[in-house]
Amino acid sequence: MILAVDIGNTTIACGVCAGKKVLTVFRMDTFSGKARLTREMEKLCGRVYRQYPSLQDVVICSVVPRALAIAEKVIYRKMRVKPLVIGRDVKVPIKNNYRNPRQVGQDRLVGAYAAKCLYKAPCLIIDFGTAITFDIVSTRGEYEGGIIIPGLRLSAESLFQKTALLPRIDTIRAPRSLIGKDTAESILSGLFNGYGAMCRGLIDRIAGTMSRRPKVIITGGHTNLMQKFIRERIDKIDQALVFKGIVLVHQKIS
């Protein structure tokens, strides 16, 4: 068993994994304040350690440097384990064709590697997280690059902050209908139907650049909300894709 830790801009998720099976997932917000982030991380690590005291390996994938620094210290202090950090201590074993390979988030590489191993190349991974990312693995099994778009929550918050009269959308949920009958419903329809149409179009355009149609795998926090808007283009839904990728990377060095 290993503890796979995925530190994102919005959420820190810790998956207890046995082989490629994810047994339990613990989640917390990626709080901005150091004191609160440390306190909540200590609580989370305490819960993990009480339930799984025999855990000996922790592997972290992070896109938030300040949260990574805190998580490493807390995990070592609370669980008596020195974590491995993907990108620093261990590399994702996939050829990276980005112009500047260091610019690619480790979570994107981990997801691409997992999709390649589990679902075979070519594939297209769409992650509905803080940002919506499209990542392409070629027929040769190489990471080719992708597309980054502001996520649902970011877009909704931007509308509220940059306009005088539009309301804040506190709960991101699917709209009741295509045509909104009030401002909140109109915003939700724009988000979901707009992003759905955009995703379908991008999937088709990306597929048109490849020698054969890629498998489309979707993951991320807003997957359950977005899937019905692109259902006919999806081959696989895998909410644990990054956890599985972390395990696969760890297995390469074990």
Residues annotated as catalytic (active site), given as ranges: 107
In the chain, what is the greatest distance between 2 CA atoms, to the nearest angstrom?
57
Structure letter (DSSP) for residue 19: T
The per-residue DSSP string of 89-134 comes to: TB---S-B--SSGGGS-HHHHHHHHHHHHHH-SSEEEEEESSEEEE
Angle between helices 183-208 and 152-162 (to 10 degrees): 130
The tokens for 168 are 């804040």
Residue 223 Cα to chain centre, angstroms: 10
Helices assigned H by DSSP within the chain: 34-51, 65-79, 106-119, 152-162, 183-208, 223-226, 241-253
Instruction: Name the one residue in this structure whose structure tokens are 């190349």.
Output: 121
Q: Which residues contact 30 (CB under 8 A, 6 or more apart)?
A: 7, 8, 9, 10, 11, 12, 37, 64, 67
CA angle 152, 11, 201 (to 5 degrees): 30
